[in-house]
Structure 1
Amino acid sequence: MTRHPVARSIGTTTLSLALVLAGTGLASAETPTADISPEQMAAMRAAFGLSESGVGDLIAAQEDAAETEAELREDLGDAFGGAVFDIDTLDLTVQVTDSSASDAVRDAGAVPELVDNGEAELADVVEALDAVAGGAPATVHGWYADPVRDAVVIEAAPGHEAEARTLAERAGVEVDTVVEESAGTPRTYADIVGGNPYYFQEGGGWYVCSVGFGVVGGYVTAGHCGAEGSDTWLDVPGTQRIGTVAGSVFPTSDMAWVEVTDSDFVPTAEVNDYEGGTVTVTGSTEAPVGASVCRSGQTTGWHCGVIQAKNQTVRYSGNERVRGLTRTTACAEGGDSGGSWLAGTEAQGVTSGGSGNCTFGGTTYFQPLNPILERWDLTLLTG
C-alpha cells in the first residue's frame, strides 16, 4: 500500500471519488436509463460500443439476470454451481452440478451448463490457498475462482509461474488450477490527492481517500483508509472534522464506515460524477459475473468494464492479503480508494486497489458493498 504525505501531492498521478454531501434528487423509473447520468451513458457507450437504447437493454437485462440468479441460487440449493452473464448476447448462464436441475434453469429463462466443480468447490480451493498464503512469495499476486472456466486462477509475476504452482501443491489443491501472468503488482489506491476527498492522519502524516456511499449516519469506504477510532477531515491540517471511523477492517477485508459527527455534512444517496452532476443510488442488488460495471474518479472521470470474478484473494505489494474482492476490467488510478462502483444505479462496492492505469488499462478490485452493510448493520441511502 503506497501512500505519500499531502505535501507531496502536487504532480502525482492520482484518482479520487467523493460522495456529494448535498441535496437528494428524485429517481425516475420510466426507462432503464432514466437514472443514468450523461457521463455514465457516454462511458458505457464508449466502453461497449452500444447505442443509447443498447445501454438501456444491457442495464435491463443484467438487472433481470441478477434477480434470476438470486432466485435460482435459493431454489437449486447444492445443485447451483454459479452464474455468468454474457454482455454481448444478454444471456444468463446458470451452472449446475446436477443435470436434473437444468430444466428449472430453462424454466427461469436462463441457459443451463453442467460443470464439474461449481462455485462452492472453487470457493473451497480459494480457502485452501488462503490457509497457506502466509508462506507465499511476493511474486504470487493473488488467486480467484473463475466461473467461466470452472477453475481457480493463480496470478504470478512474469517468469514466476513455478512459485504459483508450488503454492497450489502446498495447499493440496485437487481442482484444476490455471496459472497466469499478472499485469502488474496490485496496490491499494490511497495516494494523496486534492479536490473532493476526505483526509485522515496516520503516523503523524496526512492521507486522503474517497467517500463510497452514504448510509444512515455516515458513509462507507475502504478499510485501508483509516483505522477505527481515527478522525476524518474536510481539509488539511484538520480545521473541520467530518466524522470518526466507527469500524474498519484491513487486511483480510477492505471495508470501513465513518460516522458523521458534524451536522454540516449530510450523507445522501448521490454519487458525484465529476461533470457537474450526480448519480442517484437506487439499491445494492449485486450484479452477476460478466455484467457491466462503472466507476467514477476525479482524475479520469467515468470508466466502465466487466465483472470478471468474485471472491478473489489479492496480495497487495505491502503483503497485505485481502479476501472476497470483486475483479473487474475497469481501469483506475492512484487515489481512488474507497470510491463508488455502480452497475446501472445499483451500488456494488468501494475501490480497494489494482494494477495498471487508464492509459494502457489494468485490473481493479472492489470490496463488495453488501458485506459492509451487513457487518455493521448499516442502511444504504437510496433515492
Structure 2
Amino acid sequence: MRRTTVLRSCLSAALLLSTVAAGAATQASAAPAPTAADRAAASPGLITAMQRDLGLSRAQATARLKAETKARTVERAAERAAGGSYGGSWFEAKSGKLVVAITDDARRTAVQATGARVTLVEHSERQLDAAMARIDRLDAPSGVSGWHVDAKSSSVVVGVVSAQKDDNDVQAFVARAREAGPVTVTETAKAPRTFAAGTVGGDPYYTGNVRCSIGFSVYGGFVTAGHCGQPSASVRGWDGSYIGNFQGSSFPDNDYAWVNVGSGWWTVPVVLGWGTVSDQLVRGSGEAPVGASVCRSGSTTHWHCGTVLAKNETVNYSQGAVHQMTKTSVCAEPGDSGGSFISGDQAQGVTSGGWGNCSSGGETWHQPINEILNRYGLTLHTA
C-alpha cells in the first residue's frame, strides 16, 4: 500500500481517536453531547465546498446542514402520520423545512405536528409508485433518459433528450407511459452514461483496464458501482498491488457491487476530501430528502456538492435500465464511478453515472447505500 494511503489511514485513526477523546472530555465536564447536526456543521471543509458549489454563505451552509439533519427525522414521522394519503416529501431550502404532500386534508394537523409543512396533491405515493412500476415494464429507446416519481408535480416525470424529443420511438414511449398513470415530460441536455474510465493515474482502484472509485467501507471490504466489475474479478490499488475481488455485482437493473479487502489493505469509516475539504467521518446512512444538499467524492474530480433532485428514478443507460436511483445536481466525470455520495456525516450511495462534466456542469445518479447493504447483508463501517 502506498505511503499516502498509510498516511491517510493514520490521519483517519487520529481523527477517530480525537472524536473519542472529545466525547470523553464532554462526559467529564457534564456538558451536553454534540448532536449529529452540530458535528456535520462543524466541518470547515464541508462548509467551504457547499459555499463553492451551492453559492451559500458560511452561515447559510451551517444553518442548512442543521435543518437537513432535522428534516431526515421529520420525514420518517411525517410519513407515518400521513398514512395512506402520503404523497411524498422534499426539503425546501428557502424555509429550511420539510414539505410533505398528502391527498387527504384530514391528515394535515397530524402531519404538521411532526414539524413539516403540508401541501395537498392529487395522487398518493402508492399510486405514483404503481404507475412507475408499469412504466418500468416498457422498453425505452435511447432518447428517453429516465423516469422517476416526483412529489411536487404528483406525477411520474419522464425525461427525454432534447435532440431526440420528436423521434417516433420517443413519442411512442411517452404515449404508453401516459397510459400507465399521471406523467410529466421534461427535457434533458444529454443521455446519461456511466463514469468508469480507462487506466490513468490518480487515487483509484482498478479492475482489468477500468478505473473506478471506492464508495464506502463496510466490515470486510467496500461497496462500489456494479458496472465497474463482474463477480470474482480481481481488484488492484493505484500501484498495482492486489486488494481483493468483487464478491457480488449487479448491472444493469441495479448498479452496485462490493469488494473484499485484504493483503495489507484495510478499511476506515472515512470519505476522502482530497485536500479540497477535510476527510469526512461516516456516522450512519440516514437518507437525505429531495432538496437536501449532498456531496460526492471520486478519484477524477475529487469533491463536489449539489442537491438531491429526485429519488426512485429509472435511468436508461445504453447498457440497459437501472432502477431505484437517486438523481442529483452534482457533477462527475469518468473514473468517479463507484465513489461516495454523502450528506453531512450520513452515507447516501455510490456514484453510478450521469451527463455533463465538472467544467460545464451536469447531473449524476447514485445507487442508494441502504439497498446495497441489505442486498449483500453488509454492515456499514461507521465512526
Q: Shared fold by TM > 0.5?
A: yes
Q: Is the 8 A contact 2:202 2:238 kept in 1?
A: no
* Structure 1 moving runs of 4+ over 6 Å: none
Q: Report which of the two has the higher share of helix.
A: 2
Once the two structures are superposed, the pairs formed by residues 16-165 of structure 1 within 5 Å of their partners are 23-24=12-13, 25-26=15-16, 27=19, 30=34, 32=37, 34-35=39-40, 37-133=43-139, 136-162=140-166, 163-165=169-171
- Mean Cα displacement is larger for which, 103-112 or 144-153? 144-153
Cα distance in 2 between the residues matched to 1:229 and 1:298: 23
- The alpha-carbon deviation at position 245 of structure 1 amounts to 0.9
Name the CA distance, whole Å, in 2 between partners of 1:362 and 1:350: 17
Say if 1:255 and 1:367, in contact at 8 Å, map to a contact too.
yes
Unaligned runs of 5+ in 1: 1-19
Residue in structure 2 matched with residue 13 of structure 1 by the alignment: none
Compared with structure 1, are the counterparts of its residues 172 and 85 closer, same or farther at alpha carbon in structure 2 (3 Å cutoff)? closer
- Per the TM alignment, residue 85 of structure 1 is displaced from its structure 2 partner at its CA by 0.6
Match in the other structure for 2:347: 347
Find out whether 1:246 has 2:247 as its counterpart.
yes
Question: Which protein has greater RCO, CA pairs closer than 8 Å, 6+ apart?
Answer: 1
Q: Offset at 1:374?
A: 0.7
Shift of residue 21 of structure 1? 5.2
1:292 is matched with 293
Aligned to 2:377: 377
Deviations 1:223-261 (A, max 9, x none): 11111111111146x4x2111111111110101111113
Alpha-carbon offset, residue 363 of structure 1: 0.9
Alignment partner, residue 360 of structure 2: 360
Bigger CA drift: 216-225 or 153-162? 153-162
- Structure 1 residue 171, shift from structure 2 partner: 4.3
C-alpha distance after superposition, 1:3-57 (max 9, x if no partner): xxxxxxxxxxxxxxxxx65543234764735445433221101233333232221
SS at structure 2 position matched to 1:154: strand
Tell me by how many angstroms 1:299 deviates. 3.7
**Cα drift, residue 71 of structure 1:** 1.7
SS at match of 2:162: coil
> Would the aligned equivalents of 2:314 and 2:325 in 1 still touch at CA under 8 Å?
yes
State the AA in 1 paired with 2:215: G
Q: Identity of aligned pairs, percent?
A: 41
CA RMSD of aligned residues (A): 2.0
Q: 1:208 aligns with which of 208, 211, 219?
A: 211
Task: Tell me which amino acid in the other structure corresponds to 2:164.
Answer: H
Aligned length: 354
* Structure 1 pair 375–180 and aligned structure 2 pair: CA distance change class (3 A): same
Aligned residue for 2:205?
Answer: 198
Amino acid at match of 1:285: G
1:285-329 CA-partner distances (Å, limit 9, x unpaired) = 00000101111234433211111100111111x232101110111
Aligned to 1:173, the other structure's residue is in SS state helix
Whole-Å separation in 1 of the counterparts to 2:210 and 2:359: 25
Who is 1:11 aligned against?
none
Instruction: Provide the rounded CA distance (Å) in 2 between the counterparts of 1:186 and 1:159.
Output: 14
| TM-score between both structures, scaled by the size of structure 1 | 0.87
